[in-house]
Each structure stands twice: as C-alpha cells, then as structure tokens.
Structure 1
Amino acid sequence: MPIDIQLKPVEQLLFRGEIVAVGRFRCDATHPLFRDSGPCSHHTFVFPRTITRIHHLGGPSFVGEPGRVAFYNQHQLYTRTKINDVDASDWFTIADDVLLEMIREHDPAASPRQPFRIAEGVSDAQSFLEQRRLFDALDGVVRASGAPQRRAGGAYHFDALTIEESVLGLLRRVVRAAYDARPRALRVSSRHADSVEHARRIIAAHPAENVSLRSLARACGQSPFQLCRVFRARTGETITRYRHGLRLSLALERLRDSSIDLSELALELGYSSHSHFTFAFRRHFGITPRQFRASV
C-alpha cells in the first residue's frame, strides 16, 4: 500500500508510492502557519528553495537554505523566523523500515521514534542539482497532466520503480555526507558554533552583498582569524566558498524564469559579470547556467 501522507494546507503531494512520497511546502511569511505549522507529520528530508531560520524545540537553530538539507523526525516541533518572504521547500518521506535501515548504516543507535539524530547537513552540488531536476520533472508532469491521471490522495501516476530508486539513491548520498560531517561539527564548542550560525544568518539574509571579513567577524563577536578557523572547522568549507555555494544554489530557482537576462542575474547575485557568474556556476555544478536553463 502507498505511504499514508497527511498534508497541511500549505503542502502539495506530487508522488506517493509504497516506499517514497514527494511533496512541496510553500508558505508565505504572512500566512498563519508560517511561524509554527505544527509538528512534522512524518520522518522527512527537506531541501529548501528559499532561506528561513529554523528552530527545533529542545534542539538546535539553523539556517534552512538552498544547498543544504534538513532532517525532521515525526512529531518534531519547530518554529520559523523570517529571512525571505516565503518558506519554499521540497520534501521527501521514506517508509519507516527502509529509512531506519538507511540511517543505521551510519548511526546504529537510530531508533524508530527518532531515526534522525542530526538536524541538518550540506548537500553536495551534484546531489543538489539531481534533487532539483528530479523534483522539477515531477512537478512538470503534474502541471501538464489532466485529472484522469490523478490518484487517491491528490498525487499522480509515475513510474514508481524509477522514482523510488532515484530518491533512495539521492537520499543515501545526502545522509552519508551529513553523518560524515558530524564528528567535525561536534568538535566545535557551542559558543563558536553559535558564531558560525550567526555568520550564516548574516550572509543568507543578504547573499549578494560583499560584506568584509572584519565587519562579519565583528558582528559575530570573533576576530577575523578565529571566525575563519571555526567556520571551516564546523562546516568544512571557507566563508567565501559557503557564500558562492549559496548564491549559485539560489541561481537555480531564478534560472527557471527564461525572461531573466543572465547578465542581470549575475549582478543580482553579487557577481561582477556574466563571465564571472558562468565560471563559478560551471565550477560548482559542472554545467553552465545556459545549459541548466535549457534542461528545465
């Protein structure tokens, strides 16, 4: 039987199979459910499209942003704080038995009630690009399909084997990367971890701005040297690389609009020219912005 999915008013189901369900969450900051949309209905992986601060009640706060993945256990309570005007994300739910088997490869202590003992992780560029293409392909079929193809629960019919195998492969890579990074993150003190998260919030709120290292460090209560050190120790990347990754991940959403000029988009994202943007995009994703736009 297909997974039992309980949708909130700000969610749409795109696919539901026996092992995997895929849906979208879109909530404007003015919506009553923005700050608190209630407990998570399922064990869920979430890939943000916009930038929002998330606080797990009884747990950590972090910036949910493109290029990262958030993990929610069923019944998890959490709240949001506005950074962008809308919280937009793509979510994936996996059958409990399959999820637990996947997680226990990396965390033998994972339990059926709490399979995720981490709140977030980094998605490598290729996995992020694959996730976006997979989701947008599903979304495109849903938008183009007529009512006769609807299934019970509001989802649509696809080749379930292909979709479920693709999702399991994608999420296994994301989980492996998140758990591989866990020991590194735990070595950073809570005070320094808070400084890193504050730096992320500042950059995420204005990713196109070329903030100076000294002013960023001052805002985080650290020396420039110390902030660079603890940022890399916690995230595994430099501040500059983090900012590039965020800008380029945000670019994927903007590139879906064919009316946006690439030179204008480059300047909007904080790059000095079209060529600079194209070089950074190709180095990050392995293709040019024009090639990505042609594929969506």
Structure 2
Amino acid sequence: MIERDEHARLVSPEDEIRIWSHECSGRDTREGLRETAPGFELAFARSGLFRLRIGRRDRVVHPNHVIAFHPGEEYRVGHPIGGADASTVISFRPDALAAILAEIHPRRAEADPARVRFPFGETIATAPVALLHMELRRLLRDRPGDAGAIEAAALALAGLALESTEPAPRLRASTRADYAERIEHLKAIVYARRGEPLRLSLLAREAAFSPYHLTRVWRAMTGTTLHGYLESVRLREALEPLAEGEVDLTEIALRLGFSSHSHFSERFRAEFGVTPSGFRARHRRAGPHLLKTARS
C-alpha cells in the first residue's frame, strides 16, 4: 500500500522505494546552502531549470535530464535565470537498487549493497524515459491507491533510465573539465532561449569555440547533436503543459520555438509516437492534483 509520510512523500511500507515531487520557487537566483543527499535518489526533472553543484562539477539541469544522488553526497542548488522548477524523485533502499543494477548489468553486479553505485551522475532523458515519467505522474494523480501499478511504473522508469545511460565522452583529461564547464554554460543558454531561433555561430561565440569545433565537442560531451538537444528540450518542455490540459497547441508550439502547430505535432509524434492532442487527452487532469509536493 502506498502511503503519504510526514513530508508528503509517497512511500512503500517496506521502504524499498519512495516517490515524491520536489518543487522550488526559484525566486532567489543565488546559490543555496549546502545540502546532503539522504540516500540513493534519481531525480527526473520535468519543468524549469536549475544549476546543481556536486563537488567541483556544475550541472545545468532541465527537463532533458535525470540526475543521480548517492548517500551523503553534498550539493548546492542555484537558479541562474530564476523561475520555478519541479522534479519527480525516486529513492531506493541500497539492496533494492543493487537488485535492479544486477538485473541490468549482471557482469558488474555488486554483491555488497553497501558498495552499490549508480552508473552515472547525470544522463539524458530519452523519449521512452520521458513518456514513462509522465505515465508515472498520471498514475500518482489518477490512481493513488493502486500501489502495485505505481511501484511497477516507478521501477520500470528507474530501470529504463539506468539502461539508457549515455556513453562517457572520449576527451583528454586535461581538457575535459574546461569543455564540460563551457557546455554546461551553453545548456543554460539553450534552455533560457529555447523559444528563439538559435544560430550555431552565436552559441559558438558564447562558448569560445569555432562552430565546427562546438559541434564536435557538444556531441562528445552529450552524445547528441546540438540541434537534436535543442529539439528534445523543446519537446520535453511541452509534456508538462499538455499533461496539465493546456488547450492551445499553436500557442505551445510558438512559445517553444516551433514554426507552426503542424511542425510541432510532426516532431512530437516522431519523438513520442503519439500526437500532442492524443497525449493531452490521456493525461488531462480530472480534478485537483492528487500528489502533494515537498516544496523547497
């Protein structure tokens, strides 16, 4: 049976997994106080943008990302462009995570749950991951008492994200940190200006690369093309308003930088296998949201 605890989280009585929605107003653009991850957590960003500092590494996070946290890991969160953000978080008991990883990567299975680790710090939310994330949200909203379906969807989502890890970029160690910082800077620009026609030359100047070198570095660091990344940001940004029941598809399309309703619908269907109106019909809210949230 799924229950709500004192932090408005959805939990299983065995505590194998916990699911909750984390939201932040983002009114303060300064970097926040140091926080510590309480356990193994996967955060599936679904709206907004924030900057996450773990150790010496800065990550720009928006609805194209899945972030992994390990127990005791210290981090800080900032909002470089302001604005609210929201993520769905799944946390795992160590033995539950070890079992999932052993099934996905049996040759690298870790017998000792105390030594288990996520195979990535961050990864791109593939189209199947983004759609399954929205399906989990729909179940939490429409069928909050269906513990079996919710837990199955959460485990399937986690497994799919862990299976679809992007390969590590092949760059020299001496240049990796510098390139990573520049690419993260560009990710913030891409998200902040996602509704504009972004030219390669402009982004190259922002990162102090030549346009040709930017295309090579971007692909090495992210596993995708710059155009493909921008389009995936726009399409995933459309999922939340559609799930909320926003009616005007043309307004959504133009707001996110698509040339027309038909262009948006074509790219959405190619990415997710369903039209925007079809997706909205399935996920339209029947009433107030049933998943309470923990707000920062």
TM over 0.5: same fold? yes
CA distance in 1: counterparts of 2:4 and 2:98, whole angstroms: 17
Q: Is 1:216 aligned to residue 203 of structure 2?
A: yes
Q: Can you list the C-alpha shifts for 1:6-39, whole angstroms capped at 9, x where unaligned?
A: 84xxxx3134342221101012123799823721
User: 1:60 is matched with which residue?
Assistant: 57
Alignment partner of 1:249 is 2:247:
no
- Cα gap change, 1:98/1:185 in structure 2, threshold over 3 Å: closer, same or farther? farther
Per-residue deviation, 1:193? 2.1
CA distance, structure 1, for counterparts of residue 6 and residue 98 of structure 2: 20
Q: Deviations over 1:236-278 (max 9, x none)?
A: 1110110000001010111134344111111111111100100
Paired position in structure 2 for 1:13:
9
Instruction: State the aligned residue count.
Output: 274
Higher relative contact order (CA 8 A, sep 6+): 2
Q: Determine which of 76, 80, 89 is the counterpart of 1:79.
A: 76
State the 1:197 CA deviation: 1.6
1:204, distance to aligned residue in structure 2 (A): 1.3
Stretches of structure 1 that go unaligned for 5 or more consecutive residues are 143-156
Using the alignment, how far apart are the partners of 1:234 and 1:183 within structure 2?
Answer: 8
Q: Work out the CA distance in 1 between the residues paired with 2:29 and 2:169.
A: 38
Structure 2 SS opposite 1:207: coil
Alignment match, 1:227: 214
CA RMSD between the two structures: 2.8
Code of the residue aligned with 1:184 in structure 2: it is P
| Structure 2: gaps of 5 or more residues | 284-296
Which residue is equivalent to 2:139? 137
For residues 131-210 of structure 1, the aligned pairs below 5 Å read 131-142=133-144, 157-160=145-148, 162-178=149-165, 181-184=166-169, 189-210=176-197
| CA distance 1:77–1:273, shift in 2 (3 Å) | same
**How many angstroms apart in 1 are the aligned matches of 2:263 and 2:32?**
37
3-state DSSP class of the match of 2:168?
helix
Percent identity, aligned pairs only, is 30
The whole-number CA distance in structure 1 between the counterparts of 2:153 and 2:142 is 17
Offset of 1:117 from its aligned partner?
5.6
| Structure-1-length-normalised TM-score | 0.83
TM-score (norm 2): 0.83
Q: Secondary structure at the match of 2:63?
A: coil
Q: Is the 8 A contact 1:84 1:205 kept in 2?
A: no
State the shift of 1:51 in Å. Answer: 1.5
Distance in 2, Cα, partners of 1:2 & 1:41? 20
